Chain A
């Protein structure tokens, strides 16, 4: 179990905090998604979890031990950072050997560990290749293999699929899934790809501008969305018509000819809604109840598209 409590961080010289009052729990063995746009605070949060960045306030505990102050051994947590984070002029094997030695592997055990992580990342046939000449996908796999050295119990991945081809992306997602399912590794997966997080993760936290917007199990978080009703009209509604709808319901989104409303209990809301549509001469072409995706959730929480 990873416990993040009241985490706050402001970088020297920055006007706004990178993180403020962030609190959530990561259950053991879960694939936990950290979702948010660039600058939301995901990398800072991961840096604090890894013990590389010092928080101004709050704490991160892994099984009760604070990640700062040396209570958590480095081998407990593995990282797959956004950048390549290996030596391009060295071969795949040389890179793995160096990082394995830093992890404390010697002699025969090092060779075994190299074979193990190379097998997971399917790097076997590329061991002699220069790391700098690998394709983008293979580079990510090498980075993943380095992160897995020493069998960490927690693996933090920061935007691991950015800039990779669909095939490699699929491979990384499947590998992460398998690591959690087969080896019981707790995964913290930071991304701004909502569909990825939705497919892969069983828990998540949504961050924006350093604040935690929502957190919990994926099913619970998306379940809260089911109160949303999207109405599509032949033409965009007028201002007066929108104001009439907004007087009765929370307008989640109004873009073009589609308006999404938070209607709460649908059975109770329908008579009011029907009267409103009739009185304001609004005739929807179609409607969709319960948008079950993170994009709509993020929009609802922030009023912005994730990739704004």
Chain B
């Protein structure tokens, strides 16, 4: 048995001996995610002062389309940004791409044939009907609100048009009636996976958030176990016997990585099987299990790294558990776990980018909301892995310095 193998075996034995703690590590996230998924499914609402940016491409450039855009602009909490429309097909693709990239969460495309379609009695062709693109990360409540506003605006423009025609100013043959023709918006979710998936449920939003948060539950036990090892003089003895600090710390990675992986599977299983049984919506696990594993592994590396760093700078078990817990709460709040990013003020939304939990959340959303593939999670996974590695190195440096 080599030195790393001996240290890893030691960690496994210590973990398995404390069965109560191990059970809690699995049980708590399961209970937590079940409760939060059920509790949050109807409670996501728009924040008070948040203005959601709406990108609009008006390929019709007609009096009717301009009236529609004006009507949309009057809605509270939605801010219109008009994009230039060079050619209809290209403009629509570019708008969709911007929503996919997350530059904005709502996009409205008004096609060139919109005004003509508005005047017809028969149902218009799809190509002439305005399309609204929603980002998967948009809260369902916000999406529903905007859909209602947009449909009302569309209806208002159509009625105005009919009234204009009725008073005979531009009365052509075959005038559309106010109650006929039924011009409805087309809703689309713009995501990397293509196709026409269903609109994401609240469970689809909340499960990834609490999953990331729960994976960070390992921070406190890892940090506490390191402090205990230090207080009992065992760490000094191991160091004196020739075990380098980097290995002493790193030996935690393997067992707690496996704990995190079991947590990941359990929590996804809760979302898929248990939440529907309890009356909630079923979690769709997406189509890339490799992507889930990749981002889960990266979150685990970041959590273990953070635990090592907290242990290295803490002097007592109380300090370690307290600072570990509070730090996780802070990066959770900052990362859009406690409060969805979408309802945060713009400045706070920018701040979410500094939180490793936000990177993890985005990574899981890549798979569970945007229906991406494993390649899509690589940026977030790389950031999390770098965070974990830097934390681990800093912790080893601090442990080395503890030789005074």
Enumerate chain A interface residues (CB-CB to B < 8 A). Answer: 9, 11-12, 47, 50-54, 73-75, 77, 79, 81-90, 94, 97-99, 101-104, 106, 110, 146, 149-150
Is the C-beta of B14 less than 8 angstroms from some C-beta in chain A?
Answer: yes
Q: Does B234 contact A (CB under 8 A)?
A: yes
A82 — which chain B residues lie within 8 A by C-beta? 233
What CA separation (Å) do A73 and B242 show in the bound complex?
Answer: 8
| A56 to B62 alpha-carbon distance, docked (Å) | 83
Contacts of A51 in B (CB 8 A): 240
CB atoms of B403 and A53 under 8 A apart: yes
Q: Which chain B residue has the least Cβ–Cβ distance from A132?
A: B17
Q: From residue 74 to 91 of chain B, which have CB atoms closer than 8 A to chain A?
A: none
Please indicate the chain A residues that have their CB under 8 angstroms from the CB of B7 in the complex.
Answer: 98, 102
Query: How distant is the Cα of A36 from the Cα of B243 in the complex, in angstroms?
Result: 31
Q: With CB as the reference atom, state the residue of chain B lying closest to A90.
A: B13
| Chain A residues positioned under 8 Å from B18 (CB to CB) | 89
Complexed CA–CA distance, A110 and B9 (Å): 16
Query: Contacts A90-B17, A99-B241, A101-B1 known; A81 to B10 CB distance under 8 Å?
Result: no
A85 pairs with B242, CB closer than 8 A: no
Question: Are B233 and A74 in touch, CB under 8 angstroms?
Answer: no
Name the residue among B3, B238, B240 with the largest chain A CB count within 10 angstroms: B240
Question: Do B233 and A94 touch (CB < 8 A)?
Answer: no
Contact A52 B234 (CB under 8 A): no
Closest to A50 in B: B240
Residues in chain A near residue B240, CB distance under 8 A: 50-52, 74, 77, 79
Q: Please report the C-alpha to C-alpha distance between residue A99 and residue B9 in the assembled complex, in whole angstroms.
A: 12
Besides A73-B242, A89-B18, 10 new A-B residue pairs in contact (Cβ under 8 A), listed by A number? A50-B240, A81-B236, A86-B232, A90-B17, A99-B237, A101-B3, A101-B6, A101-B9, A102-B242, A106-B1
Whole-angstrom distance from the CB of B237 to the nearest CB of chain A?
Answer: 4
In the complex where A85-B233, A87-B14, A89-B14 touch, is A103 in contact with B241 (Cβ < 8 A)? yes
A75 interface neighbour in B1, B14, B236, B242, Cβ under 8 Å: B242
Asked if residues A85 and B237 are in contact (CB atoms below 8 Å), the reply is yes
Contacts of A54 in B (CB 8 A): 403-404
- For B2-21 the 0/1 string (1 means CB < 8 A from A) is 11011101100110011000
Q: Roughly how many angstroms separate A86 CA and B228 CA in the complex, as a whole number?
A: 11
- Please determine whether B242 and A103 come into contact, CB atoms closer than 8 angstroms: yes
In the complex, what distance in Å separates the CA atom of A260 from the CA atom of B131? 105
Chosen A-B contacts, 10 in total, with CB atoms closer than 8 Å, are A54-B404, A81-B237, A90-B17, A98-B6, A99-B237, A101-B1, A102-B7, A110-B1, A149-B241, A150-B241
- Give the CA-CA distance A146 to B232 in the complex, in Å: 14
Give complex CA distance A149, B242 in Å.
Answer: 13
Whether B239 sits at the interface, judged by CB under 8 Å, is yes
Name the distance in Å between A37's Cβ and chain B's nearest Cβ: 21
